[in-house]
Structure 1
Amino acid sequence: MAGFQRYFNARNTLIAAVVITLFGGYYISQSPSPSSFTMSQTSSEVPGLSLSLSQISKSPPTLRVTLKNDSPDTPYTLLKWGTPLDDAALNTGVFKITDADSGAEVEQVTLQIRRKMPPGQDQLAGVNPGEEGSIEVVFDRPWMPETKPAKYKVKAEGLLKGIWDRPKSEVTDDDTNEYTESPLAGRIFITNEVELVVE
């Protein structure tokens, strides 16, 4: 009888262990893994849309900022504020600038900009599928170090404050007045890092 009881207890323990293992495995498979959770938090770029930097002049030191849309069928319109396309980008700290040799960050003088609401059409940048547009940014602010020649590393990253998945002509004043409510607002942008040579 004691042997039967031991067999019965061992059998129940084994069954319980198998059941717990099966339920545990199912729970883990249905739960987001840490890596997938992290990915969903950081994978916030707009599909097909990119902002890139390239140097086009050493004197005065000038970068070309290119907005490109590789999407096959989706047009995009974004609010320039807080991006490298912003006319005030060099006054608002959009660019991160470091000395290429020492790695020391260049201290920038940033200004508090008063924005006119709603943003006008000139504050929007639109790109159709397969197209790109660009502007030039001259790094000529008084806070730039006077040492020449010099080399700096420059990149930009931040949040797209307002972005719509439709042509610029279809973005209205009502839309721009509520730009934080735009469908893709808050997505991250990160440019490439380029070496800015100053002569």
Structure 2
Amino acid sequence: MSILSSRPYLTAILTLFAITTTYYYYYTTTTTTTTTTTTNPTMAASGATSDLLSHLHVSVTQSSTTPPTLTLTLKNTHPSTPLTLLTWESPLDPLALQLGLITIIPVNDNEEPSPLPLATIHVSRKLPPARDQLVSLAPGESRARDVVLREPVVPLGKVEGGVGGA
């Protein structure tokens, strides 16, 4: 015999609690969403932010074969608005290759294309970011960064804990 069948009042209390919790959850979620959408100018402007980001174009070109080098370029194509970006986790990040932001897929006619396995790292960055880690692009302006494809700086055998990290 279960504890719930021997005590019907416990079943009633738990059922009432479940109904109240469900009602409260749906009521507060709907109210919060409606309130945030109508009164918070930052959230209302999020559509404008995504529109501005659509004017940020990325291009990749191979600028050298020895050593293999890629040039990553960000261009602001908006006709009148300058854009200011944090370089972290972007094509302009000096650690873009090491962070795994770039995937290299060699083209072979004989094989199915698959990405090259690249050793990646995880970094913790000091907040707030320094001014030199912010990039402002005027309308029509572009910024480029060269990424040299090379072996890891630290041999993977010397990393504590092996390739997967400690």
Provide TM-score, normalisation by structure 1: 0.47
**1: CA distance between counterparts of 2:63 and 2:52?**
26
Give the equivalent residue in structure 2 for 1:125.
Answer: 135
The 5 A counterparts of 1:130-169 are 130-142=140-152
Partner SS state of residue 122, structure 1: helix
Unaligned runs of 5+ in 2: 1-46, 154-166
Partner SS state of residue 96, structure 1: coil
**1: CA distance between counterparts of 2:136 and 2:75?**
10
**2: CA distance between counterparts of 1:95 and 1:45?**
23
**1: CA distance between counterparts of 2:63 and 2:133?**
24
**1: CA distance between counterparts of 2:151 and 2:87?**
20
Partner SS state of residue 104, structure 2: strand
Preserved CA contact (<8 Å) 1:90 1:141: no
The Cα of 1:132 is off from its aligned counterpart by: 1.1
Which whole-Å deviations, capped at 9, do the CAs of 1:149-175 have from their partners, x for residues lacking one? xxxxxxxxxxxxxxxxxxxxxxxxxxx
Partner residue of 2:107 out of 97, 100, 104: 100
CA RMSD of aligned residues (A): 2.1
The Cα of 1:47 is off from its aligned counterpart by: 3.1
The Cα of 1:84 is off from its aligned counterpart by: 1.6
The 5 A counterparts of 1:1-199 are 46-101=53-108, 102-142=112-152
Instruction: Give the 3 Å change call, closer, same or farther, for CA 137–74 of structure 1 in structure 2.
Output: same
The Cα of 1:44 is off from its aligned counterpart by: 6.8
Partner SS state of residue 97, structure 2: helix
Which whole-Å deviations, capped at 9, do the CAs of 1:116-160 have from their partners, x for residues lacking one? 1111112112110111111111111349xxxxxxxxxxxxxxxxx
Identity over aligned pairs, percent = 40
Unaligned runs of 5+ in 1: 1-39, 144-199
Partner SS state of residue 80, structure 2: coil
Which whole-Å deviations, capped at 9, do the CAs of 1:8-54 have from their partners, x for residues lacking one? xxxxxxxxxxxxxxxxxxxxxxxxxxxxxxxx9xx877132111111
Which structure has more relative contact order (CA 8 Å, sep 6+)? It is 1
Higher helix share goes to which structure? 2
Preserved CA contact (<8 Å) 2:80 2:139: yes
Preserved CA contact (<8 Å) 1:80 1:125: yes
- Aligned pairs, number: 102
Provide TM-score, normalisation by structure 2: 0.56
Instruction: Give the 3 Å change call, closer, same or farther, for CA 88–61 of structure 1 in structure 2.
Output: same
